[in-house]
Amino acid sequence: MTEPFALRLQAVSKSFGGLRAVDGVELAVRPGERRALIGPNGAGKTTLFNLIAGALPVSAGRITLFGDDVTGMAQHRRAARGLARTFQITNLFPTLTVLDNARLAALARTPARFAMLRPVRHFADLEARAREALAAVGLADRADTRVRHLSHGEQRQIEIALALAGRPRLLLLDEPAAGLSQAEAQLMTALLHRLDPAITLLIIEHDMDIALQVADHVTVLHYGRVIADGTREAVKADPTVREIYLGA
Amino acid sequence: MTNGATPSSDRPPTARAGLAAPATTIIPGIITAAGVALVAPLLSAYPLTLLTQAAIVAILAMSLDVLLGYTGLPSLGHAAYFGVAAYAVGILSTDYQRGFLTCLLAGVLLAALTAAVFGLLAIRASGTYFLMITLALGMVVWGLAFRWVSMTKGDNGIAGVPRPELPLPWSLGAPLPFFYFTLAATLLAWALLGLLVRSPFGLTLMGIRESETRMRALGYHVWLHKYLAFVLSGTFAGFAGVFWAYYNGFVSPVDVQLVTSVETLLMVALGGPGTLAGPALGAAAIVFLKNFVSVYTKRWLLILGAVYIGVILFAPRGVLGAFRREPRR
């Protein structure tokens, strides 16, 4: 497993009718890298995530995950290759408890998901993994609360916990700090810093401070195209980026 | 993110894991079943008949709830699986004089097979579209029952289905032993379905109900889970259909018609989708309501409609849901 890239996009495009939401994007992320994907509203960041995760089919181009071509592959099969994602708009199982949310995440891709004749609470290893994921985001004590009774900030943390419970190799984080207060965003940043360094991170973040704190490399998307790609210092200094993104 | 953001008083005092609290309906359910079993010998023939009917229809309602309440798939064609099993029993026990076990197996298998084929067509759709496709597939079965006269005897139906003969000390031809027989079947179905919805697989169904996109992102092959739920649900509907054929002694297109599917859907909605005891309760309520009210008026559907509207307005999570100690947001 000495693949040079955890994730590689080659000339990936996506059109919705006449609109080219993603236009010939080239992206190469090395294993263990922390990459930020930034860009103004409507730049095509979330669409790009949906293409990588397989929630949407590409119109053109090639996507490679740890060396394997996954371009036409179904979403659950990409997940089986170690890809996990979070959602910009919180997407959890609201009427289930926090523990059951985490259980569902830990259960995915294990043979036990088709077990029908034993109560789920008898699966001790499943529960252990679920609780471990909750502990990783600091919500172990909320296990028995229904997710819809959690605060927005807690729900954002559950988003991450669910992605972690699957023990991913590549984690796509879609604006993890969306809608958080400043204090909450700081906790989120700390949480992202604590993640296992072996996990490759691709993170969309609107908040430049967070993006630059977490990521060492930055890719800038604008109208579906990559307009800059490099270390955070290089991108920060890039005049086009300053003009477009910071509106200077 | 901080606990301060949500006052902890907001948390329900008795908040327990949805799945970790099976005791909520198991014990009352067993008490109810035991109570009914004790009272049954004291009842006259008519209420006993209704009770038998309720026990069978409860299986059908519970099977539908696996789809509607747990997976979030509103099937409007559940009479199809119920009906094909009833027809299998009708035909095998009259034309071929087969015994109970053969009929039971054939009925359940045929229902499972029908669901396996229909599921391939229906699972691609969701929401209203799923409703429409299952409705259309249900009509196909109704059409077959009605038109395939050489097999089904068409509109005349299959009469003279004998009660099963088993090596029991009591004849199942008598109402009381037959009631106990069906009650045992209902309890068996309840136990199996109860196990199913509390299993890891059951949890994945609830996950699909809550968010299909999240389930896909987690790596689930959502289609497969829905399909399995569909087939299992149809299989249990067939299990109910077997007993229905024996109970009525008669199988006709009425058993597979749309009204039967709609009534089943109402039972689940009335009793409380997402619980098993709820639909069973709803089944009993509708069976009794239908039979008592129809003594006084032919427009019993009007009454049923009114009851249904009342439930939607005052207990949108069904009668049982209304009693669950979970605070509304």
A157-211 pLDDT, tens digit per residue, is 999 999 998 889 999 999 998 888 888 888 888 888 888 889 999 999 877 778 8
pTM surpassing 0.80? yes
Written as six digits, the tokens of A235 are: 């991108």
Distances (CA, A) of B238 to A171, B242, B247, B263: 44, 6, 14, 16
Written as tens digits, the pLDDT of chain B (329 aa) is 333 333 333 333 333 334 434 446 788 888 888 888 888 888 888 889 999 999 999 999 999 999 999 999 988 989 999 999 999 999 998 888 888 889 899 999 999 999 999 999 999 888 889 999 999 999 998 988 888 878 888 788 888 888 888 887 878 878 889 999 999 999 999 999 999 999 999 999 999 999 999 999 999 999 999 999 999 999 999 999 999 999 998 998 888 888 888 888 888 888 888 888 889 989 998 898 888 888 887 787 788 788 878 887 777 777 777 666 554 43
What is the distance in angstroms between the Cα of A242 and the nearest Cα belonging to chain B? 32
What is the distance in angstroms between the Cα of B91 and the nearest Cα belonging to chain A? 32
B70 contacts in chain A (CB < 8 Å) = none
Average pLDDT of span A101-126: 92
pLDDT category of residue A65 using cuts at 50, 70 and 90: very high
Q: Scanning the structure block, which residue is given the tokens 């991170």?
A: A201
A119 contacts in chain B (CB < 8 Å) = 19, 22, 195, 198-199
- Its ipTM equals 0.88
Please, are residues A133 and A162 in contact by the beta-carbon 8 Å criterion?
yes
What integer pLDDT is reported at residue B313 of this predicted model?
79
Q: Scanning the structure block, which residue is given the tokens 């309840």?
A: B190
A188 contacts in chain B (CB < 8 Å) = 1
Average pLDDT of span A132-154: 92
Please, are residues B60 and B240 in contact by the beta-carbon 8 Å criterion?
yes
Please, are residues A205 and A177 in contact by the beta-carbon 8 Å criterion?
yes
What is the distance in angstroms between the Cα of A154 and the nearest Cα belonging to chain B? 4
Q: Cα separation of A66 and A83, whole Å?
A: 10
What integer pLDDT is reported at residue A247 of this predicted model?
60
Nearest Cα residue in chain B from A88:
B214
What integer pLDDT is reported at residue B58 of this predicted model?
95
Distances (CA, A) of B226 to A83, A87, B136, B222: 23, 23, 19, 6
What integer pLDDT is reported at residue B3 of this predicted model?
38
Residues A60/A48/B207/B236 CA torsion (nearest 10 deg): -10
Whether B200 sits inside 8 A of A143 (CB atoms) is: no
Count helices and strands in chain A by DSSP H and E runs = 9, 10
Burial class (CB in 10 A: 0-12, 13-18, 19+), A214: buried
Nearest Cα residue in chain B from A87:
B214
pLDDT category of residue A245 using cuts at 50, 70 and 90: low
Whether A104 sits inside 8 A of B22 (CB atoms) is: no
Q: Cα separation of A119 and B279, whole Å?
A: 21
What integer pLDDT is reported at residue B16 of this predicted model?
35
Q: What percent of chain A has pLDDT over 90?
A: 55
Pinpoint the alpha helices (H) of A66-151. Answer: 75-80, 98-107, 124-136
Whether B200 sits inside 8 A of A92 (CB atoms) is: no
Q: Cα separation of A223 and A230, whole Å?
A: 19
Q: What does DSSP assign to residue A151?
A: -
Nearest to A37 by CA among A238, A243, A210: A210
Average pLDDT of span A75-104: 93
What is the distance in angstroms between the Cα of B208 and the nearest Cα belonging to chain A? 9
Whether A153 sits inside 8 A of B5 (CB atoms) is: yes
Nearest Cα residue in chain A from B22:
A119
Q: Scanning the structure block, which residue is given the tokens 């993170």?
A: A203
